[in-house]
Structure 1
């Protein structure tokens, strides 16, 4: 099976005065196409730092990340931005929707940045919103949507450009239990349709729905379970 996302020998060391803090310690892993993988661990264990490096938001102190066979570090910022824009989708705990835009305009943003025409971007964004069950909310701004609906918009935005992998940082962290289940049902449906998904979470119920769980403590992978 082809590998969608991998890393080799990742380290992240922060200098805090005279002290060096090792947030990520030599992590190597591979996420295959079509997997839905949970990354778990206690607060401060390094899982969010790892996700930030895997997504190209933060540079590692050492090591490399490959996305769809493309190197993410040791290249120019423009090249990295291009890879992130084409190969990755992102779902955040706080949604990060633009308040001045309605739902379909928010979903169009990644496509317009990639050079799609306005007409093509609108068509693909509309299809993505229909896929997440928001066909009747195209014209609604974030303030007019519930938390669950806002997260669905962010999911549509993450998948609209058909990325190789979708990276999620606590995607249900701001939602009640019923809405969390609905969002996870949607992510599971996307995974069954072929999307590769990596989820950082504290929630054991989310982990149970993933094909693999990677547990991290003190900056290292302590074990994996399938």
Structure 2
């Protein structure tokens, strides 16, 4: 909810500024509308409010309406990429590699699956065109729907997999833990976090994400754990 409040405040501030500075009022109003849309997404509408489809593309309408927010996100992402010292990705084991969103020049070879967890970015076309590219849009610091998680986990249950969000920390940690649990690689959340953090120390889950994974683990342990669980 703090993201909804933050972007809601930013939207209100831009709207107020539009009246104070009429010479750039249209630009400020556009920014206000963009941030308001993101606030609505975090308030409950979910990642679908950002317009990213399963093909990994953000719709043209959402690109236009949300352009100020998207430009803000791109700026922050590039600054983190340029100024940060963290590797773009880390190999957890022979079947799983986690990391941030990659540039076209950074894409490693040899992966059977690519899992894109961002709602605010598009992967390079060379990744989106991969036969086993999977897009599961999740809001930053958020969790996926149980149905979408289970569907995507099943699709990449075997084979070498690259999993990423924007920086390869929270959302990536959630999916990577669920995949390790599904593959029988770990038996507890803490064990999984220890495995992930030993290779990529900045991986960290907030309380909502931690609870989500704990519930996923409980569901996986049930003898009749078929279908899609109610995890949230």
TM-score, length-scaled by structure 1: 0.27
Task: For CA contacts below 8 A with separation 6 or more, give which structure has more relative contact order.
Answer: 1
| Structure with the higher fraction of residues in helix conformation | 2
In terms of fraction of residues, the more strand-rich structure is 1
Whose Rg is larger? 2
